[in-house]
Structure 1
Amino acid sequence: MKKATWNGATLAESDATVVVENNQYFPPESINKQYFVDSNTHSTCPWKGVASYYSIEVDGKVNPDAAWYYPETKDAAKNITGYIAFWKGVKVE
């Protein structure tokens, strides 16, 4: 079971994560949505597509753009469409 935590809160927990480029991607249904705030940030991966971001907010503290996902992917990354990955100090274990 993989678990993502930040600032003492469990952001996501699942035994169905997918590893891509050393990142654990969590299924969308495994996240605790109350901590996720939509961001206007986007980035592009040549083989996955355009990523969207969430900022994480826990107990009044904000970690900007600390989670990302691909709402639509290119064919090579179909298995992570909608799945969420973390960085910027979010601990995944």
Structure 2
Amino acid sequence: MTTETEAAAQQADAFMAGKRKADDTAFMLTRVLAEMGIKVGERDSWPQMMGRASLSGEPSLYLGTVPLPTARKLIDALVHAESAKRRQP
């Protein structure tokens, strides 16, 4: 293989690894939200979420547009969890 071909193959591998990691994270977040009664894929709850990766392989999540009631529910849960965490000795 030429160095250009090797570099392209490495870049593709990095991208796929990042995409896999982002997809796994999106899946886990979807499961956590489902436990809270928030359903990803429903227009009134959480319309869209997907894993993405840059060409360098850096994973990220696209969370889409989240309706305000869903955002408030998530904020309340996070505030409650942080309060409980701080109360523990």
* TM category, shorter: under 0.3
More helix by share: 2
TM-score, structure 2 as length reference = 0.26
Which structure has the larger Rg over C-alpha atoms? 2
